[in-house]
Amino acid sequence: MTRTYIAIASLALAAQAVQAAVPARIQAERAARGLAPKSKIGPGPKNPLGTRWIGFGDGSYGIHGTLDPGSIKRYASHGCVRMNNAHVTDLFNRVQVGTPVHVLYQPVLLAHDGRAIWLEAFPDFYHRGYDYRAAIAALADQGGFRSRLHNPAIEAALKAKDGLLLDVSQALAPRLPLVRVTPAKPAGGAGPATSKHETRR
């Protein structure tokens, strides 16, 4: 598969006690809301970079934690890569300065767990004319499971492009219809009262 590289760099620095330098853009946003501008935020529970900073290139961009886990996988960054604090801490302990860093533009992800084939699709935020279907085919070929792809499920994921995991394997179990269950009364109408309920199996 032809990969679109945004950057090829090396890990420049890693810090456990994170001090966040607030970009000018964010300072301007704060000023527009009537808030006092801040140029730096020290280490601690209110630091937006979370618990670790792994800088690459010239060190002005990096991989870091976050105070807002719900923002992960969303178009909400000022250029860095956000991870859950536990995940970035684990990564921090695995790398060292000088480790190569390749930043890819790949708004579709595919994985196989031995049973299901999981697909995540995101919008083409930078309007590069990304060829989702070619990328999915190439990733599936690489994994050796292209023949198991379920095209209608893929089309549903590409229509939504919401970043949610969807099983796109042909072995999809059909979703059973909503069943209304009404317990039968014992013969003669005796016995405890029963009530209707709905369930999915």
Instruction: Say yes or no to pLDDT of 115 above 70.
Output: yes
* pLDDT, tens only, 146-200: 999 999 999 999 999 998 899 999 865 444 344 444 444 444 444 433 333 343 3
Question: Residue ranges of the alpha helices (H) in the chain?
Answer: 24-32, 85-92, 132-143, 151-160
pLDDT of residue 179: 43
- Please tell me the number of Cα atoms within 13 Å of 61 on its side-chain side: 15
- Quick check: 94 and 54 in contact, CB under 8 A? no
Mean pLDDT of 139-144: 92
Q: What residue ranges of the chain are covered by domains with CATH 2.40.440.10?
A: 5-104
Place 14 in a pLDDT band, splitting at 50, 70 and 90. Answer: low
Quick one: pLDDT band at residue 6, thresholds 50, 70, 90? low
Cα–Cα distances in angstroms (integers) from residue 58 to residues 5, 11, 24, 64, 190, in the given order: 17, 9, 18, 15, 80
Give the model confidence (pLDDT) of 68-111 as tens digits.
887 777 776 667 888 999 999 999 999 888 888 888 889 999 99
pLDDT band with cut points at 50, 70 and 90 for residue 10: low
User: Is pLDDT of 126 > 60?
Assistant: yes
Query: What pLDDT sits at residue 185?
Result: 45
- How many CB atoms are closer than 10 A to CB 168? 25
Q: Higher-confidence residue: 125 or 10?
A: 125
Task: Give pLDDT, residue 200.
Answer: 38
Q: What's the fold here for domain 5-104?
A: L,D-transpeptidase catalytic domain-like (2.40.440)
pLDDT reported for residue 4: 58
Sign of the Cα pseudo-torsion (93, 94, 98, 104, in order): negative
